[in-house]
Structure 1
């Protein structure tokens, strides 16, 4: 089996598995319990919290554990708007569904910044729009796109947002473990992360909140996580997350060296095959592990199935709950031709991806999808 879908989820890192397996009985309890085992568990949770803040250079932030990035994004956006009476939200049509769907269902003014065919944002347009804003506003923009890998200039955007006295939330999920993050320098107000993208367990994530900001809880009850996220902490998940975060900066270095070399090799081979092969975001700043491409000879779904039958795991873009292959809203927003939208697949590499695996993928894709694909694009 060749796994090339790290942007959907990364395999559990070997150190994470070892850490969870070696937990002692005396360490495993409810962190809210007052007895010794509970206190031991609480101590471990707080140690992980400090380690994540340290790894992300986030001295000016509080960290709230959640069930994952979807909850973190919901808490950041809805929690901040509720607490601070925000009147307008700005975002992108290329955001993850956990942001787009939240934004669309808000009962406030909604505005979307434009992006070009390379998926880039126009900073001058952002400044022009925000300079005219007369009411309180929140901007929600992802660090890097989960489908295309395109990296947004969050540092510059944050400066513009602060200049016009707005608040910025950043979905940082895809950047974690692929780019070294310095949150104090980035200086965003709210930052969402997830464990399973860096080799930690699923079902656990976090929201980092700049200490100058306040939000309202979305889940109330027992008052855990500083009364901002009630419910017994996912202790095993947090332990695994803490072990994964120890690797995060090393993973970023690997991503921008060996992993990038393998991604570039794949794209060089693809471009040799045909001028009709389109690599999305090729000419812009993007994650070094991501290759999102299309050749209009076979639908995305049929390619994913054909490759799966040969033991290769890729995706058509974002993973969704239905498991169905849907046309990419990201490519639609980039105004990509329909024939490419319906034939796009995403290859996302990770620390266990090898040159040999990339060559195997390329040869199988060339024979099963490029040469033998029927023109069945809708």
Structure 2
């Protein structure tokens, strides 16, 4: 079995799983309880908070644990209802947990401007500058795209937001462990993360909230997470997230090089056999190890099914839109035709993939392309 869909989810790190099992067995007390069982659980959570803060370069007090990246994005966006300024600037390539929420918020008087992207999936900061109105209360632009891997000009966008005194949110679910990040160097107010994207558990994430930012909770109850997420904390998953974030930053330069080498190998081997393959995304500003490729004369669904039958996992785009019959909204935003859209595959490598794995993948894809060509 070979797995090449790390942008959708990553396998849990063995050390993370071991820590979570130990936490479930030995730190089962309610973190809100005053007795020692509860306080030991509280300590586990605070250690994880510190680990995550160190991983992204912020204060521990600026870390809020959530149920994942989707919940973190929702927490940011639904707070627009509590603001006087209800205009949002976002992009055409955002995750459904941003775009679909904004569509719902229209019913409550929230308006939004969708910024286009170029053919390489990058927004133009000047378009954001020009979209600002006196009623703009939030700018929300993802850090890196989950389908084609393009990294956005976050620093420039942050400066624009700061100049106008507008909160800036970024969905950064895809970046931890792939490219270095230091929140303190960015002009970002809120950032979303998800543990299962960096070899941690599913169902737990983080919202970075810059000091002085005080949104209201979506879930009312106890006072957990600075009164921002009521409910007893999932101690073991939070512990797993903390360790996973720490491990994500270890040897990041070496890991980045490894992922880039795998992607280069794939492109070299496939292009030699099929020079008409189109690679989507930005050639420079891109996540390592993420490939969006448009293949000749065969749909991505055929490739996915035939590869899956041979124990190889790839995807056609966002796993959060699985079951949808629509073409990728990201590729449409890049002005890709429907014909190209349905022939586009996403391959995202991970830390455990090898050169031998990549060679086998290119061989199998080439076989499928050859079979399909011979049937024509």
Pairing 1:124–2:126 present:
yes
Question: Aligned-pair distance for 1:326?
Answer: 4.2
Name the stretch that deviates more: 274-283 or 262-271.
274-283
Equivalent position of 1:111 in the other structure: 113
Call closer, same or farther: CA 1:202–1:253 in 2, change over 3 Å: same
Post-superposition offset of 1:324:
5.2
Q: Distance in 1 between matches of 2:233 and 2:47?
A: 14
Structure 1 spans left out of the alignment, 5+ residues: none
Tell me by how many angstroms 1:284 deviates: 4.1
- Compute the displacement of 1:300 (Å): 1.4
Q: Check whether the contact 1:136–1:166 (CA below 8 A) recurs between aligned residues.
A: yes
1:249, CA displacement in angstroms? 1.1
1:102 aligned residue: 101
Q: Does the residue aligned with 2:224 lie in a helix, a strand or coil?
A: coil
Deviation at 1:61, TM superposition (A): 5.7
Structure-to-structure mapping, 1:206-245, within 5 angstroms = 206-245=206-245
Asked if 1:171 corresponds to 2:161, the answer is no
Distance 2:13 2:332 in 1: 34
- Matched-pair contact (CA < 8 Å) for 2:176–2:245: no
Q: In 2, are the aligned partners of 1:316 and 1:325 still within 8 Å (CA)?
A: no
User: Which structure 2 residue ranges, 5 or more long, are not aligned?
Assistant: none
- TM-superposed CA distance for 1:18, in Å, is 2.0
Matches of 2:25 and 2:247, distance apart in 1: 25
Moved more, 118-127 or 177-186: 118-127
Query: How many angstroms does 1:35 deviate by?
Result: 1.9
Contact 1:69 1:192 in 2 (8 A): yes
Between 32-41 and 320-329, the greater mean CA deviation after superposition = 320-329
Q: Please state which structure has a larger fraction of its residues in helix.
A: 2
Rounded to whole Å, the distance in 1 between the matches of 2:297 and 2:252 is: 35
Q: Which residue of 2 aligns with 1:352?
A: 352
Task: Identify the residue that residue 65 of structure 1 maps to in structure 2.
Answer: 65
Rounded Cα–Cα distance in structure 2 between residues aligned with 1:32 and 1:202: 23
Q: The residue matched to 2:320 in structure 1 has which SS?
A: coil
The alpha-carbon distance between structure 1 residues 61 and 119, as it changes in their structure 2 partners (threshold 3 A), is: farther
Question: Matches of residues 12-51 of structure 1 in structure 2 within 5 Å?
Answer: 12-23=12-23, 25-51=25-51
- Whether the 8 Å contact between 1:75 and 1:218 is mirrored in structure 2 is yes
Q: How many residues are paired up? A: 372
- Output the TM-score relative to the length of structure 1: 0.94
- Partner in structure 2 of residue 327 of structure 1: 327
In 2 relative to 1, CA 205–213 (structure 1 residues): closer, same or farther, beyond 3 Å? same
Alignment RMSD:
1.8
Q: Give matches, 1:1-378, under 5 Å.
A: 1-23=1-23, 25-59=25-59, 62-79=62-79, 81-107=80-106, 108-130=110-132, 133-250=133-250, 252-320=252-320, 322-323=322-323, 326-368=326-368, 370-373=369-372
Alpha carbons of structure 1 residues 243 and 215: separation in structure 2 relative to 1, 3 Å: same
* Cα distance in 2, alignment partners of residues 65 and 375 from structure 1: 53
Q: Normalising by structure 2, report the TM-score.
A: 0.94
